[in-house]
Amino acid sequence: KGNVLIVDDEPINLHLLSNMLVKQGYEVHSVTRGVEALEVAQSNPPDIVLLDIYMPEMDGYEVCQRLKADERTRDIPVIFISALEETHDKVKAFGVGGVDYITKPFKLAEVLARVETHLALRELQKQLQETNQELAQSNAELQARNKDLDAFSHTVAHDLKNPIVSVVGYADMLRSSYDVMSDQEIQQALQVIIKAGYKMNNIVQELLVLAGLRHGDMELQPLNMAKIVDEALQRLSYTIEKARAEIITPDTWPSALGYAPWVEEVWANYISNGIKYGGQPPRLELGATEQSNGVVRFWVRDDGAGLTPEEQSRLFTSFKQLEQVRATGHGLGLSIVQHIVEKLGGQVGVESEKGKGSLFYFTLPASPR
């Protein structure tokens, strides 16, 4: 039922209290000196303390003060049991941190009732503290998410503005000047509109993925990685064709766990960045390595100019730091990649040297064989 520490220099009191509490199912430790009480409380903190006042060397007031001054024992309820009946004695007991005061000669039933009451109150206090901690943590997470969402919405608004302006501008030009435009000019205008449309579609796709991330955890399932990569390449077919990019994929993929729509988004971001920052024309190699620690490392290697350590440090970042990231040209995609992979229990990273291209990787749990 609980662990009770009894502190009294009168053996008869220790005997009476101890026998009663043991019969009721309590674990009891009894000591006759204040110093011993502090040692026991610190080494094996009790659930409640029954404390006499008049004792040699250290009285009950000082014992209680020391218990309340120690972070390990400050929350343990202390009930004073004393022959002192004056009001100022009781006031002093409450002043040093006592929760109750019982006068001697005590009635065993009264002591038991008060012990049970204060243990119940202590349990409720613990539950309230745990609830408050959970609420504080949830509130902190909610505030962090709101900050992320606010920064993300500003970023999306900024990134959508340019393609929208392009679509509206060139569409208006076609509407008003189509008759006097050459075929080449018409084709150029249509290409700009198409490119802007793909850009807006990618941003909307990222919004949908982010919405899914915020709904909670997904159950990890075995992935058909060949199919996922093929669908990512299909999404990027226009970009790949325009850049005349060469994409090399392995014949087989290691088995891994994840959530296919999110993993497709990771591949789409890595591949599109590789095309954007690769050579002319870009050559990308996709691959995977099964590691000994129960994870699979997937990667995209490009033949671009590579990145300095400073540039690498700014790639994977929170949404609220995207203003800094945009300077590198990588935009919000890599921030979403990091959110996705961490949600799936993996890690992201980049390996690069200036002038030697870059390798972007992410890890996922290996699928049990």
> For the chain, where are the E strands, in sequence order?
3-7, 27-31, 48-51, 78-82, 100-103, 221-222, 246-248, 257-258, 283-290, 295-301, 348-352, 358-365
Confidence band (pLDDT; 50, 70, 90) for 323? Answer: very low
**pLDDT mean across residues, the chain:** 88
The residue ranking higher by pLDDT, 295 or 323, is 295
267: amino acid identity, one letter = W
Task: Give the other-Cβ count within 10 Å of 129's Cβ.
Answer: 11
Looking at residues 266-295, what average pLDDT do you find? 93
**Residue 36 in contact with residue 6, Cβ under 8 Å?**
no
- What class does CATH assign to 3-106? alpha beta
Q: Residue 35: which residues within 8 A CB-CB, separation 6 or more?
A: 57, 58
More confident residue, 353 or 80: 80
Q: What is the pLDDT of residue 320?
A: 42
Lowest mean pLDDT among 109-123, 139-153, 203-217: 203-217
pLDDT tens sequence across 302-314 = 999 888 888 888 7
How far apart are alpha carbons 327 and 304 in whole angstroms? 18
Task: Quick: pLDDT tens for 215-261.
Answer: 666 789 999 999 999 999 998 898 899 899 999 999 999 999 999 98
Lowest-confidence segment of 42-51, 213-222, 359-368 by average pLDDT: 213-222
pLDDT band at 205 (very low <50, low <70, confident <90, very high): confident
Ranges in the chain annotated CATH 3.30.565.10: 217-369
Question: What's residue 326's pLDDT?
Answer: 40
Q: Is the pLDDT higher at 315 or at 225?
A: 225
Question: 145-173: per-residue pLDDT in tens?
Answer: 777 666 666 666 766 787 898 899 999 99
How many other C-beta atoms are found inside a 10 Å radius of the C-beta of residue 295?
20
Decide if pLDDT at 324 tops 50.
no
C-alpha distances out from residue 181 to 148, 173, 178, 187, 197, Å:
45, 9, 5, 10, 22
* DSSP tag of 317: -
Q: Which two tokens stand for residue 265?
A: 């988004």
Parts of the chain belonging to CATH 3.40.50.2300: 3-106
317 pLDDT above the threshold of 70: no
The DSSP call for residue 282 is -
Q: Which two tokens stand for residue 92?
A: 């002093």
pLDDT in tens, 26-41: 999 999 999 999 999 9
Mean per-residue pLDDT for 294-321? 82
Whether residue 207 is predicted with pLDDT greater than 80 in this model: the reply is no
pLDDT computed for residue 330 by the predictor: 42
Q: Which of 188-202, 204-218, 278-292 has the highest mean pLDDT?
A: 278-292
At residue 142, the pLDDT reads 83
CATH classification for the domain delimited by 217-369, as one of 3.30.565.10, 3.90.1150.10, 3.40.50.2300, 1.10.287.370: 3.30.565.10
**What is the torsion angle, in degrees rounded to the nearest 10, for the CA atoms of residue 120, residue 125, residue 128 and residue 129?**
-140
Residue 158 is predicted with a pLDDT of 67
pLDDT of residue 152: 64
Within 13 Å of residue 260, how many CA atoms lie on the same side as its CB? 13
The pLDDT value given to residue 208: 75
Between 325 and 152, whose confidence is greater?
152
What does the H/E/C string look like for 37-78? HHHHHHHCCCCEEEECCCCCCCCHHHHHHHHHHCCCCCCCCE
Residues 6+ apart with CB under 8 A from 208: none
Q: Between residues 195 and 16, which one has the greater pLDDT?
A: 16
Per-residue b or e along 30-44, where b marks 16 or more CB atoms closer than 10 Å to that residue's CB = bbbbbebbbebbeee
Residue type, 46: P
